A = this chain, B = another copy of it.
Amino acid sequence: MDYVYGPGRNHLFVPGPVNIPDQVIRAMNRNNEDYRSPAVPALTKILLEDVKKIFKTTSGTPFLIPTTGTGAWESALTNTLSPGDRIVSFLIGQFSLLWIDQQQRLNFNVDIVESEWGQGANLDVLASKIAADKVHTIKAICIVHNETATGVTNDLAAVRKILDHYQHPALFLVDGVSSICALDFRMDEWGIDVALTGSQKALSLPTGMGIVCASPKALEATKTAKSVRVFFDWNDYLKFYKLGTYWPYTPSIQLLYGLRAALDLIFEEGLDNVIARHGRLAKATRLAVEAWGLKNCTQKEEWFSDTVTAVVVPPYIDSSEIVRRAWKRYNLSLGLGLNKVAGKVFRIGHLGNLNELQLMGCLAGVEMVLKDVGYPVKLGSGVAAASAYLQNTTPLIPSRI
């Protein structure tokens, strides 16, 4: 290729696609198989059971769709809604913006609740809209659990509380792309109707599998949903589920075995331990940012994301230059600022199968890059702050005690 790798490993700290564990890379290192043999349905059956655990649902029905997060969005919308349906959608950053763009192009009537980038979804506005909607014109609430562009996590339990308070029947559709398997996520408890993620995020797989889970109410909604859909139609899946062959079209054999390995790793560590680890690494990152004298793009602590931190740079620095230089000099991959915050923030993704010292390498790299671009950082300061916290909180690796 034109851009060969420098010596040593790439330090991948974009908020997706994330590092794939070696065990998963190994599991995927294989030839194709006939997906109509008894082996692939047997594997699929167990995967569909096990994948529900990462959504914390027992009543949901999962779909493993050969697509990306964008396709998973489309599947969530078109299977449950009809053109013209009114939906409330929160615009708080680039990914919620893109989802809204999709909602509009799919001809829904999108009632946008906008916040400043760096803030969470404005649930007060939601509450008043719901309160006002006595005749239930609102068919769905669409919310991005974790806005990857700004590092903002929304309070899903609060959304449910509002809907329940007003006994509003709107469907509750959640983009969990950069949250599921990394942040606290409770599909059943929070009454989420459609939740979705992509394989290349906290599950730590390659891109290519959109993982969507539908509540019984969402499945019921498919019966009246008039949106045109074929590739993304859940009913085609359900038909093959009943037949026990599971696949309306060819799945990626490699991703199925990869998902098996990824789930095994998560269950072995324990999903709650995985989530706690994300919390620790995120806190350490924020402490480093603070030590550098820089601001978190996220404006309040209640919204701090445990999967991605968007760091605001001083006006005299172009954050894109930080990203470029990190890659060119230290083989460190950071996330760009997008759209409204382009040039103003860079992003550190700390999700997926990561550990403390990988993060330390990243933080040390960010420090050097900050100095490179003329920011008066005290080298070692972020690492010191982060490691002071981690040295107190990192557990022993259970299997090694």
Q: CA A361 – CA B128 in complex, angstroms?
A: 49
A1: interface (CB < 8 Å): yes
Other-chain contact of A330, B233, B268, B356, B382 (Cβ < 8 Å)? B356
Interface centre among A29, A43, A253, A391 (most CB of B within 10 A): A391
Q: Say how far A318's CB is from chain B's closest CB, in angstroms.
A: 16
Q: Say how far A76's CB is from chain B's closest CB, in angstroms.
A: 12
Determine if A397 and B331 form an interchain contact, defined as CB atoms under 8 angstroms apart. Answer: yes
Interface centre among A233, A332, A357 (most CB of B within 10 A): A357
A300: interface (CB < 8 Å): no
Determine if B30 and A250 form an interchain contact, defined as CB atoms under 8 angstroms apart. Answer: no
* Number of copies of this chain that the complex holds: 4
Q: CA A107 – CA B230 in complex, angstroms?
A: 11
Report A260-291 residues with CB < 8 Å from chain B CB.
260, 265, 268-269, 274, 277
Determine if A387 and B397 form an interchain contact, defined as CB atoms under 8 angstroms apart. Answer: no
* Per-position binary interface string of chain A over residues 1-44, scored 1 when its CB falls under 8 Å from any chain B CB and 0 otherwise: 11111111111101011111111011111111111111100110
Determine if B17 and A32 form an interchain contact, defined as CB atoms under 8 angstroms apart. Answer: yes
Determine if B250 and A400 form an interchain contact, defined as CB atoms under 8 angstroms apart. Answer: no
Report A168-205 residues with CB < 8 Å from chain B CB.
198, 200
Other-chain contact of A228, B69, B101, B107, B335 (Cβ < 8 Å)? B107
A102: interface (CB < 8 Å): yes
Determine if B17 and A250 form an interchain contact, defined as CB atoms under 8 angstroms apart. Answer: yes
Determine if A7 and B269 form an interchain contact, defined as CB atoms under 8 angstroms apart. Answer: yes
Determine if A25 and B31 form an interchain contact, defined as CB atoms under 8 angstroms apart. Answer: yes
Determine if B368 and A387 form an interchain contact, defined as CB atoms under 8 angstroms apart. Answer: yes
Q: Say how far A29's CB is from chain B's closest CB, in angstroms.
A: 5
Determine if A37 and B330 form an interchain contact, defined as CB atoms under 8 angstroms apart. Answer: no
Determine if B23 and A26 form an interchain contact, defined as CB atoms under 8 angstroms apart. Answer: no
* Per-position binary interface string of chain A over residues 354-376, scored 1 when its CB falls under 8 Å from any chain B CB and 0 otherwise: 11111011111101100110000
Residue of B nearest to A399 (CB): B4
Determine if A3 and B400 form an interchain contact, defined as CB atoms under 8 angstroms apart. Answer: yes
Determine if A355 and B8 form an interchain contact, defined as CB atoms under 8 angstroms apart. Answer: yes
Determine if A7 and B353 form an interchain contact, defined as CB atoms under 8 angstroms apart. Answer: yes
